[in-house]
Each structure stands twice: as C-alpha cells, then as structure tokens.
Amino acid sequence: MRTFDANDTAHLMDRDSAGSIGNLPGLTMPRDKRIRVFYLSYTPPVPTWGGAMSFYRHFVERNDFEIFVATDSAEVQQYEVPYQFLLFDVPKWLKRMLRTRLYRWSWHYNQLIAGYFVPRRVWEAARVFKPDLVFTIAGSWNWTARVAQRVARRLRVPLVASFNDWFDFGVLMHPYFRGSIERAFRKFYRDCDLAFCTSEGMLEALGPHPNAHVLYPTGCSVLDNKREFVPFTSGSGPATVFFAGSLSAWYGPMLEQLVRASSGSQLRFEIFGSHASWSQNFDSAVRTTGVYKGQVTFDELKTHVQEADLLLLPMGFGNECAQIERTSFKTKFLDYLTFQKPIIVWGPEYSSAVRAAREFDAAECYTSPNAAGCITTLQNIARNSERQKQLVANARRMYQSRFEPSRIHAVLLRECEKLVRSQRR
C-alpha cells in the first residue's frame, strides 16, 4: 500500500483536513453484475475477530458483492486486503483538540456534528465508484455512520446500516451528551433504507421500522464435520478453560475475578484478546504465567482451541451493561459453536447469549455474578462426560438450524438485492 501522489488523485480535487491514504490505482473501477457496496465505517472488513471478521466473511470471502472500503481505522493497513480502500481522518484542528484536556467535549462534537461534513476524498471516491448502496455500522455510535448517510443521500442510493452494539458500548461518554447521542442513534435507525439488527433484542430495543431484519453475526465454518467429540476426563490433568474476545469494559474484571477464584481448582485458563481492562497486578501475573496469550490471528486461534476443554463466554452483570448485553450477539458464540467443545455462558438471564443457549440447551448457563459459583459450574462440567457430549451435540444442532453461515449470509444478500431492485424501478 502506498500514499496517494498527484497522479493517483488527479481527479480527486481535495483540500480536506488530515489527508488520506489507500491502495487506489487511479480509481479505475469497471462495473460487473455484483452489487456494488461503498462500505464506509470505523470497522473495516478485515480477517481478525468480532464484527470486522463477520463482515469480512460477508463481503470479502464470498463473491456476491464488489466493495470499496472507506474507513478511519488504520487496522485496514495491517492486512493484505483484496479490495480497494481509502483511509481518512477527522480535520486536523479537531484531531489536535482531541489531544487536549477538552478531548471529551471535542469527541462529542465529533460524534454529533463532524459527520455532517463529508471529507472530499471520501466523496470523490464514492462518486467515481458509483455504488448501488452505501453500507455502514451504526452501533456503537460513531461519526462515520453520519458520513455514510450523507454520501448515500448525495448519490441518491440506499443507505444500509448494521446495528451491532448499543450506541454507548465501549464509548467514553460525557453524561451531558448521552441523551443527544442516543436520540441521534435512534433517528439514524429510523432513517435507514435497510437496517440489520444483530439480535432479536436489538430489534426489540430499536422498535418498529419498515425494513429492519435480524442479521446474526457469522461464525466460521465447522472445523471438521467428521471429527468425533472426545470429552475431557478428570484423570487427564486440569481442564483448560478457553476464552477469546474483547477484554475491555467489564469483561476484563470478570475474567480477573474468575481466574483468581480458580486458585486451588482443577482448572487452567487460556485467555486471548486485547485492550484488557483488568488490574495492572493481574496483567503482570497472567503474562508471567502464560494465562494471557495476547491477540493472535484467527487461524492461530483455531489451532489453540484444539487444545482447550471448555469454552467460556462471559456476559456482563449490572445496570450499566444490561441494555448492551440484551441487544448484542457475540460473534465468538457462533465461532464457539463450530469449535465443537462444551460452552459455558456466564451471564444474566436476560442476555442474548443465555437466551439463545437456553433455547437449544447448547451451553451450560451460570447466571449469578459470583465468580466462585462459576468455577464450580466449570468444574462440574469438566467432571461430567455425558453432559459435555450433550452440549456439543446441541451446539451442532443450534449451528445447523439457525447459525450456519450460508443461512445468515442469505438474509444479507436477499435483502440487499430486494432493496437495489426496488431502487432501479
């Protein structure tokens, strides 16, 4: 990938803010019969974890869409992606403000106002690409969603948005602005031409919409359909409890409590992820002991999970995260289904993961915030070979009946095709 030069951008007459880079060879874009998607979001489709991986599976691994990606996330540069992309940023003056003591006020200005001003390079790239629709991720709330909306309206093409998380997840939010950002989030949902909600809980929370659909995240494909599950037996040493996912917000402290409570048990933990919010003392300890493995590629993760015995999925407790855990649906849950190991969900009854697990009996659920009780549940499953077999069999049924990736992708493709056809009439 290389920085734009004058030849690259002869027709991108741009004087916008902080400059943009990408991998665009002159923006020559022949059309084909696939749906052309201008994908504008703070979460680019890259082969990592979570939502970024889910949309990589939709838009890149499959051949139903031709995409151009515009993003303010430098993560797109960490991978050899097979699509054209443009990396843009907020204006330089706002970037400077975000580094001062006024950063919280500046950040909220960015989220509420800056999205109304489309960076010139973004607009020119979209105009040249001639998309059939503009796609963005609207939850958690981010200024790039508003930019996507402005681009779609100026091009007179449909706006499609995915609501993956509640508006405030992972966001440092001043209480003064909370109400205005939530109102912007809800209005954005109502204004979309097509809205995808990551769970039934998200659809319920956002309310009526003439063209809203549940679109679960997509997990990976089953690793080995022919492999027979062999349960863990207590005579073979400690059971390995595996976790891979976000370690930010409440998840870091939950895992810290759990690992500390496991002292003296017949359990060992392997934790993968980044942005850990646990204590510094704990961070030092788990790095030293090898409990914390850091962030690895998804391919590496699939290798590590083969050595695991139990898969842990925590969902937060408490009022501060209740709405988030009702509305989100963890991509790692669907990946876990394909790993063919017993899953234990530690979270409240109202969380989306517990609701789905209960429906299929696809995971053992422990619904109290008490970490010692969760350790007991993990140990009980490790001692019960028949329950392990039952959980794995039920997880396969859950995957095949509702969460097989081609089923989920079919929803996205069908609704996008319907929308584009209706616009062409």
Where does 90-238 show beta strands of DSSP type E?
Answer: 133-139, 159-163, 194-197, 212-214
Quick one: 172 and 240 in the same domain? no
Same domain, 248 and 350: yes
pLDDT at 93: 58
Helix (H) or strand (E) run with residue 343 in it: strand 343-346
Residue 221 domain flag: no
Mark whether 85 and 196 lie in a shared domain. Answer: yes
Are residues 67 and 181 located together in one domain of the fold?
Answer: yes
Same-domain pairing of 99 and 173: yes
pLDDT of residue 6: 32
How far apart are alpha carbons 345 and 245 in whole angstroms? 14
Residue 42 lies in a domain: yes
List C-alpha distances in Å: 3 to 24, 57, 82: 9, 27, 17
304: region left, alpha or beta (phi > 0 left; psi from -120 to 50 alpha)? alpha
The predicted pLDDT at position 17 comes to 39
254 and 385 fall within a common domain = yes
Q: Residue 376 domain-assigned?
A: yes
Whether residue 264 sits in one domain with residue 201: no
pLDDT tens for the chain, 425 residues: list them: 333 333 333 333 333 334 455 655 544 445 568 999 999 999 999 998 788 999 999 999 999 999 999 999 999 999 999 999 999 986 665 566 556 666 666 666 666 666 768 999 999 999 999 999 999 999 889 889 999 999 999 999 999 999 999 998 877 677 777 888 899 999 999 999 999 999 999 999 999 999 999 999 999 988 666 678 999 998 889 999 999 999 999 999 999 999 999 999 999 999 999 999 999 999 999 999 999 999 998 899 999 999 999 999 999 999 999 999 999 999 999 999 999 999 999 999 999 999 999 999 999 999 999 999 999 999 999 999 999 999 999 999 999 999 999 999 999 999 999 999 998 77
Give domain status of residue 408, yes or no: no
Same domain, 151 and 193: yes
> Phi, psi at residue 143, to the nearest 5°?
-60, -25
Task: Domain count for the chain, please give it.
Answer: 2
If DSSP states are collapsed to H, E and C, what string results for 49-61?
A: CHHHHHHHHHHHH
**End-of-domain residue from the set 183, 215, 247:** 215
Contact assessment for residue 114 and residue 40, using Cβ atoms and an 8 Å cutoff: no
pTM of the model: 0.87
> Domain check: are 210 and 247 in the same one?
no
313 lies in a domain? Answer: yes
Which amino acid is present at 328?
Answer: S
Based on the fold, state whether residues 241 and 206 are members of the same structural domain.
Answer: no
- Asked if residue 238 belongs to a domain, the reply is yes
Q: What is the pLDDT of residue 424?
A: 78
Tell me, what CATH number does 364's domain have? 3.40.50.2000
Q: Which of 215, 250, 281 is the last residue of a domain?
A: 215
Q: What is the CATH number of the domain that holds 44?
A: 3.40.50.1440
Q: Note whether 86 and 195 are same-domain residues.
A: yes
Which domain covers residue 288, as residue numbers?
234-403
